[in-house]
Amino acid sequence: MNQHLLTICYLIGSITFILGLKMLSNPASARKGNLLAAGGMSIAIFGTIFLFSYDENGTTHYLGNYIWIFAALIIGAIVGTLAAKKVQMTAMPEMVSLFNGMGGACAALISIVEFNHLSKELDATPPAEIIQKIQEVQPTVLIIVLGLIIGSVSFAGSMIAWGKLNGKVKDFSFTGQNILNMVVLAAALGLAVYMIFNPQQHMLLYAILGLSLFYGIFFVMPIGGADMPVVISLLNSFTGVAAACGGFLYDNKVMLTGGILVGAAGTLLTILMCKAMNRSLKNVLIGSFGGNKKGVAGVAGAQGEHKEISLSDAAMVMSYANKVLIVPGYGLAVAQAQHTCHELEKILTEKGVEVKYAIHPVAGRMPGHMNVLLAEADVSYDILMEMEQANDEFPTTDVVLILGANDVVNPAAKSDPASPIYGMPILDVEQAKTVIVNKRSMKPGYAGIENDLFFRPKTSMLFGDAKKVLQDLCTEIKNA
């Protein structure tokens, strides 16, 4: 009876995952979708704790260890809740990387634990039956080593990504690093294949673990700033696949469904991010993605002089415009100015100005960073435009207000073959009649590349903290 009820719990969990993911595609239903999926996961977790049972020599046993299980649940819930409530929007990408890494670590630990159980069975098998036993467990060993490799790479890579996003880890590369990465990965895979046919070689598992962690670290270390959203998405897909391996090991349908959904969604998002960055997925996998960018920072230093615009002039230009497009970037998140930006949007709209937002797919530090930022301020989804749609509207736009965005509006991506971002699709802001760029200073953006846009005839710089500048603009426009 318990097993039937547990199956129903897993079915409910799987269905809520699928429905929740579907609802996440629309900001209006995203919160409900998240809660729905979380509810399904809770049902699956408590169903496993109280309904899971197994037979041992004809005797039914239950999961047990309730004190340890609930202690871990309570500690995890408290830590997760506090972290989520305290995190600033600017730190959201690094928290996502941290949590994603924990998922990879969990998958790797599952592989280690299950292999230890398997090892005990092999050690207890009589020599005359060992060959048959090895043949029986080979599929299980395959899943174990796959989960270990993928989970370890996800964990190590996510930890490095977390460190790079918060500034504690710097880009690092050396000649031949790609070759070393490939050799290490090939060694891990080779040992994994050998271990499938020789599972009694227990220590090989830890050699595979070490090689996988090494690869995860050096896979992410050379990756440059503007490329980080793609890496986060890719590592997220790794964690999903590793979790799916755990689902296979335990014949757990809900774990398998969740892992497949995360892995598939992460893979598709990675492909879309690569397309948006004009990068090769192959280069991501071999660890050469975005490396060595800092060497070209500030190369273009002779474009000429930039010109500045006063607050009053900027307010006047925007007040009498027919259409204003706002391009949000990481600087908007740093200043926590999303609510003030929404206020500016409402003031302009009341004056009869058409206001929309142009969102580049990789603006910020993770996929969808700007969408989440603006959703927090209750900006209507209807006025958020994707890059292709926005590029069609720039020629008919009177004013473009760029708030902290840099690399995603850099014309070098289209005009300078020597630039590291050459070929990356950008927002064609310079097609508008007037471009106003708000930045703290003339320093290069996250990719460390000089932006030629700042020296173009149509561009005017409006220096200052985004929140303070937007507050002053609101005051000026109200009085205009």
- Name 366's Cβ contacts closer than 8 Å, sequence gap at least 6: 92, 93, 96, 228, 229, 232, 233
Predicted pLDDT of residue 302: 45
Per residue in 47-74, pLDDT (tens digit) is 988 888 766 665 666 777 889 999 999 9
Per residue in 213-228, pLDDT (tens digit) is 999 998 888 876 667 7
Report DSSP state, residue 418: T
304 or 341: which leads in pLDDT: 341
Spatial distance between the Cα atoms of 219 and 185, rounded to a whole number of angstroms: 10
Predicted pLDDT of residue 292: 46
Spatial distance between the Cα atoms of 469 and 362, rounded to a whole number of angstroms: 24
Residue 231 has pLDDT above 60, yes or no: yes
CA nearest neighbour of 334 among 163, 165, 118, 106? 165
Active-site residue numbers? 407
Spatial distance between the Cα atoms of 64 and 127, rounded to a whole number of angstroms: 34
Predicted pLDDT of residue 286: 57
* In contact, 58 and 302? CB cutoff 8 Å: no
Mean pLDDT of all residues in 315-333: 91
Instruction: Say if domain 311-479 classifies as CATH 3.40.50.920.
Output: no
DSSP string across 194-238: HHHH-TT-TTHHHHHHHHHHHHHHHHHTT--GGGHHHHHHHHHHH
Residue 359 has pLDDT above 50, yes or no: yes
Per residue in 182-218, pLDDT (tens digit) is 899 999 999 999 999 999 888 899 999 999 999 999 8
